[in-house]
Structure formats: structure tokens, C-alpha cells
Amino acid sequence: MFVAVPRETYPGEARVAIIPQAVSSLTKAGLTVAVEAGAGALSYHSDADYEAAGARIESDRAALLAHADVVLLVRGPGSDPKFPEKDLQAIKPGAALIAFLDPMDLATPLLSAARRGITLLSMELMPRITRAQSMDALSSMASIAGYKSVLLAADHAPTVFPMMMTAAGTLKPTRVFVLGAGVAGLQAIATAKRLGAVVEGYDIRAEVREQVESLGAKFVEIKVDVETAEGKGGYAAAQSKEFYERQQQLLGEHLATVDVIITTAAVPGRKAPILITEKMLAGLRPGTIIVDLAAERGGNCALTRPDQRVDVDGLHILGPMNVPAQVPVHASQMYARNISTFLLHLVKDSALRLDLEDEITRETLVARDGKIVHPRVLERMEKR
């Protein structure tokens, strides 16, 4: 079975789907691995590193894709809304493509790939079960994003994070508030604590209190009745308009006391909920930094602009995009482990076997034999 690892085409994407250290696990399973020349350059992996690990180097991208039985990418059609049509045409019908596909958005390249007969498996849809933990790329990338968000905040903040006792007096520690205690939020809390900040965390799921407090942060309670705290896959569930309005009112009162706000609330397949309104922004003190990790989904802050810093009334709102790509070495290392483990889960006797009785395979399979087959993606199509 021929496994192709092309160079990423998405602007600013510095990750690579497979690093040299992951090649041996695939070749030991009887797979032939070919990597496009320069695919690992932005994550500091040379072609020579791949060759030493047992991979072939292919300079002809079209030939690489044409021979592939499986294509491994970070951003596939869908996740990359401008995924090259010529790449889709090069991949033979029946070949499998495994990547982040953003399937709930139903981007044109995703549908084109499905109609062409390419078997599509989405890393976003990996079920959050014990057996699949080593394949959970969303959690891996969220962990990187949570870490990096704190460094971005510290870089832009007008205060130092730790308390400092100096000859010129004592400097109070920065107060950091993290909205959302999923993987990204918990990593943000842990990183801010390491830097010496006073940290608070909030989530509509009261059961995460223990995790927040175990990291040395204070769990903030906001008395709002929650309809359904947790949705499919362990994410916070979407709530009603009335819930968000009451939440915003109570949150606004608390956010006026902090220096840095990091927001992480995102619901897969939907626009991110607005947690910080313009009215709430008016109550924040000048110099407050907001890092909105939901910028790619529209943002949790009303004034967030993707990939921009917005300065308004002394506030600074950051909307970073594709944050894991800013840490390409470790992000690629984690993703390569996730996707190679997933591929080996699908391989039996050196061939791809899609066992739909298996929850991992069934939940990640988006398209097969020229049709979209995933129930939630089909439901999304019906609603459009």
C-alpha cells in the first residue's frame, strides 16, 4: 500500500502530516511511504531525514498523488477552502484521504472530493473514547493552542505575569481569566500559572471544577441555569439566546476585574457563541488583553477580527488563526503520532480495511464510493 505525504498548500501552514520518526511504524506494517520534496521543511524536517527513516522523496506532486492509495495531510479539502482542484483530480477514485476536513462546513472542495470517489476520513470526527485517545488530533492541537495563547497574551500585555518584589516596589501578578475549560482552556490555565499569573477559569460544565482547581486556578461560578452542559464528543453544548444573555451580564461584572481574558468556546460545526459583547467590552479596564482562540469560528468576542489585533478604547483583542502552526515542530510531532496511529488502526494485512462495526472507523468516515455517508454531515446538508 502506497502512502503519500504531500506538502501542505494552506497559506501559513507549517505543519506536516508525518515526521521522519513516524515513518518507521508505517514501513514496519508493510506500507510504502513517499513524501513530497520539501514537505517537512517548515517544521524543520529535511528530505534527508525522511530518506534515512525509510521514506521515498518525490518531487513530482501530481505523480505522488496519482500513485497514492492513502493521502495523509494536515489540512485537506474542506479545512482548506481553496484546496487545489488539480490535486483532487490527481488522486485516483477509491484512494483514501485522511486529514482535518472541517466536514460540517461542507466546503466545495470537500464535496468535490466526495463526488470524485475519494474515501474521506476526518480527524475532527475522532470519537472521544479511551481507545481513540492516541488518535485524537483535535485535543493535541487544542493543547498547543492553549499554551500559545498565553504566550501571545504575555507578549501583548502591559503588565508582567508573575509577582515581582523589587527595590522599586512590589509588582502585582497579572490576573488571567480563561473562558472555557476544555483541552485548550486547561492548557492555557496551566501555562498562565507557570508564568506566575493569578488565574481563574469558567465553564458551563460544573464538573470541570476539579480539573481547573487541580491546576491551581480558581473556578468561577456564574449562577445561570444550563439547559444541556455537554454535547456530543465532550464539548460544551450550544445554549439558548436567553442563557447567553444572562451569562454575558454576569460575566461582564467579573471580567472588569481582570487583565487578560482568553476565550476558547467553540461548538463543532457552528459559529462560535458571542461571550463578550460590545457592551461588556465597555466595562473592561484599559490595557485588558483578549486572546480569542475561537477566531476561526467567528470569535467569542463581538469585535474579534480573524488574524488581526483590534485596538479599541484601550483594549487589545487578538484573533489568532491556525495557532498550532505557530509551533510546527511539536504540533507536527503530535499530529504525526495521531494520524499514523489512526492509519495503522485501519490497516490489516498491509491494506486499508474499513470495518464499519468499529466505532472509530464509523465515526470518522465522511465519504465513500462517491457519496457522503456520515449521518451528522448528511443532516447538515439537509439543513442547508
Residues tagged active-site: 128, 133, 136, 139, 235
d(CA 16, CA 366): 22
Task: Please check whether residue 177 is in contact with residue 261, taking contact to mean a CB–CB distance below 8 angstroms.
Answer: yes
Q: Classify burial at 209, counting beta carbons within 10 Å of its beta carbon; exposed 0-12, middle 13-18, buried 19 or more.
A: middle
List of residues 6+ apart from 326 with CB closer than 8 A: 14, 148, 320
- Look at phi and psi of residue 349 and say left if phi exceeds 0, alpha if psi is from -120 to 50, else beta: left
| Cell numbers found for residue 153 | 497574551
* DSSP E strands, the chain: 2-5, 32-36, 56-58, 70-75, 96-100, 119-122, 164-166, 169-171, 175-179, 198-202, 218-219, 260-263, 289-292, 309-312, 315-318, 347-348, 351-352, 365-368, 371-372
Q: Find where cell 497559506 sits.
A: 11
Phi, psi (5° rounding) for residue 124?
-65, -25
Please enumerate in sequence order all residues whose Cβ is within 8 A of that of 6, keeping only pairs 6 or more positions apart, or say none. 36, 39, 61, 64, 65, 71, 73, 87
